[in-house]
Amino acid sequence: MNGTGGILVLGHPRSGTTLLRRLLDAHPEIAAPPETHLFGAGARFLAAETTAAGTDMGVLSGLGFVGFAEEEVLGRLRALCFGFLEDYARRAGKGRWAEKTAFDVFHLPAIELLCGDRVHYVGLVRHPLDVAVSCKEFCDAAGIYPSVLHEYLRRYPQPIEAFVRSWIAAAELLMDLGRRRQERTVILRYEDLVDDPAGVMAALLAFLGADVDISFLEAALERQGDLGFSDHKSYAQSRVHRDSLDRWSSLPRPQVDRLSEPLAPLLEAFGYPPIAHGPGQSREEARRRYLLGLQATARRHNA
C-alpha cells in the first residue's frame, strides 16, 4: 500500500478526533485542516427519500432521468470536495490531506459512496460513557444540541443516554465500514492513543503508507496551525495526557447500570472491560437519597 490519497478521520464527537487530526497535521507529509464540513455537505447533497412504491427521490435519480450517470455526478461532487483539500495540502507544501469533521460519521454511508477506495478511513473510538459525559458538557457550554443528535434526544430524554445511543450507532457504522473495506480502514482507541502516542502513531502511519519517523510528535501540539471549527480544549493542551479518562465514574450509578446492557456487545468488541453493576437501589432509597441531598443543599445555603 503506497502513501497516497486522502485520509478521513471518523469518530463520534468528543472521541479525541481533534487530537488525532492535530497529530496528523504535524506530520511533514500530511495537511489536516480544522473542520471543513465538506463531506457532510456532500452527503446531504446526495440524500434521498424513497416513495412507498420504492422510487428513489434524490439528486442521483433526478439527474439520472435527464442523462447524467450516477458515476458522473459522484465524480463531479468528489472533485469539488477533494479539490479544496488538495489545494489546502499544496498550500501547506504537503502531498496528502486528512479531513476530520466531528459529525461525518453519521453520514458515513453517503461519504463511503462518494469516496470509495480513494481514501483511507481512520476510525477513533473512546469509551462511550466518557464520550457521553464530554458531549453533555460541550452542549451545555455551546447552548445547542447539534441537529444530527436530535433523533436520539427525541427518543431518549436523558441526554447521557441519548449520547450513548448515538455512540452505539456511530460505532456500528465504523465496524460495518471496517468489514467492507478492510484494506482501507483502521479503527483505533483513544485510550491507546493517549497511553502510547508514539506506538499508535507509528502503526497508523505504517498503515497509511507514510513516513513512520515520529520525531515530529515531540512538538506536535505546540504548533497552533490554522484555526477554525474544532475542539477548543485541544488547543489548550501542549502534550498528550490521560486526564480525560474514566470521567464517567461521576455518573449516577443507576443510570450506568441501565446502560450497561445495550453497551455490552460493543464494549467487548472494542476491548473495553464490561461495566460491573452497582448495588441495587429501591425507589424508596432513591427518594431518601434525593431528600438528603436537598437537605444538605439547604443547610449550605443557610449557613
CATH number (domain holding residue 154): 3.40.50.300
In tens, the pLDDT along 147-204 reads 999 999 999 999 999 999 999 999 999 999 999 999 999 999 999 999 999 999 999 9
| The three-state (H, E, C) secondary structure of 140-165, written as one string | HHHCCCCHHHHHHHHHCCCHHHHHHH
pLDDT, average across residues 275-292: 68
- The 10 Å Cβ neighbour count of residue 160 is 20
pLDDT at 233 over 60: yes
Residue 275's domain spans which residues?
6-48+59-302
On whether residue 128 sits in a domain, the answer given is yes
In tens, the pLDDT along 86-132 reads 999 999 999 999 999 989 999 999 999 999 999 999 999 999 999 99
Contact by Cβ (8 Å): 205, 212: yes
On whether residue 54 sits in a domain, the answer given is no
Overall pTM > 0.85: yes
Q: Enter the DSSP assignment of 99.
A: E
Contacts of residue 279, defined as CB under 8 A and 6 or more positions apart, other chains included, come to: 253
pLDDT at 23 over 80: yes
Q: How many domains does the chain have?
A: 1
In tens, the pLDDT along 41-55 reads 999 999 998 888 888
Letter string b/e over residues 7-17, b meaning 16 or more CB atoms within 10 A of that residue's CB: bbbbbbbbbbb
Contact by Cβ (8 Å): 59, 46: yes
pLDDT at 2 over 60: no
On whether residue 211 sits in a domain, the answer given is yes
For residue 1, the model assigns a pLDDT of 42
For residue 116, the model assigns a pLDDT of 95
Output 257 or 233, whichever has higher pLDDT.
Answer: 257
pLDDT over 90 percentage in the chain: 73
* Strand 96-100 to 30-31 pairing: parallel
On whether residue 19 sits in a domain, the answer given is yes
pLDDT at 4 over 70: yes
In tens, the pLDDT along 190-209 reads 999 999 999 999 999 999 99
On whether residue 1 sits in a domain, the answer given is no
Kindly report the average pLDDT of the chain as a whole number: 90
